[in-house]
Amino acid sequence: MNLVIDIGNTLIKYAVFENNKILFDEYSESGLFLSKVKELFELYPKIGHSLISSVGALQGKEQDIVSLFCRVHVLTSESKVPFKNSYATPQTLGMDRIAVATAAFYLNPRGNTLVIDAGTCITYDMVNDSGEYVGGAISPGVQMRYKAMHNQTAGLPLLRPDEILDFIGNSTETCMHSGVVNGVSLEIDGVISQYRSRFQDLTVILTGGDSHFFANRLKNTIFANSKFLLEGLNYLLEYNKR
């Protein structure tokens, strides 16, 4: 069994795999890391390997804790990847983007795949039909847009995502919701159209914490998979066991 741990900007996600299938996945706040890890090894004592991925600098304590229970691989820019990495600055490529590119490579090894991860930031990552990671884009995520409007103005409230009945808002709050929700939907559709104009037979995967919010709002055909990053981390763990 494998345990993959994704330390994100706001939460820590955990997933247990056996034969590349998810048996368990959950998330917690960072303060519960020790208790959550102990709980997982009690539930799944056959876990023999773990991979830790962090979007920021790893403090070291996480690795030390998991190392008490099994062998640990910390995902870095030096880790082996199954695809050709043509990113100009591979040492700056986020671990989350490496993970979704890996999942894209295994999902569609002879096809063109665009992965859109709607999380704290919205990232776009492209793996072509030659198995080459060519890059993508990064833009502000949903919560970041709401926070920016609140923090950088004198009078706009801090809101959370909400359904919009019409793209024309008739109050400050509905205007803000339209600007964020409608704006992100149009952005994603526009980016997909750009990629489709360059890459034939493009497969589009939508993942991330806000993926459920946009899956039915897009005009383009996409496949929604909220576990895509975790699956990529498990593939990377298997690949780096060799």
Helix (H) or strand (E) holding 72: strand 71-74
Going by C-alpha positions, the residue among 117, 137, 140 that lies closest to residue 231 is: 117
Rounded to 5°, the CA angle 209-212-215 comes to 125
Tokens of 200: 């034939």
Question: Residue holding tokens 């919009």?
Answer: 164
Question: Residue holding tokens 């833009």?
Answer: 139
Active site residue 129: no
Contact indicator for 37, 19 with CB cutoff of 8 Å = no
Q: Which amino acid type is present at position 24?
A: F
Going by C-alpha positions, the residue among 219, 28, 202, 7 that lies closest to residue 94 is: 7
Name the CA dihedral angle for 70, 76, 81, 84, rounded to a multiple of 10 degrees. 180
Say which of 25, 64, 96, 125 is annotated catalytic: 96
Contact indicator for 16, 23 with CB cutoff of 8 Å = yes
Q: Which residues are catalytic?
A: 96
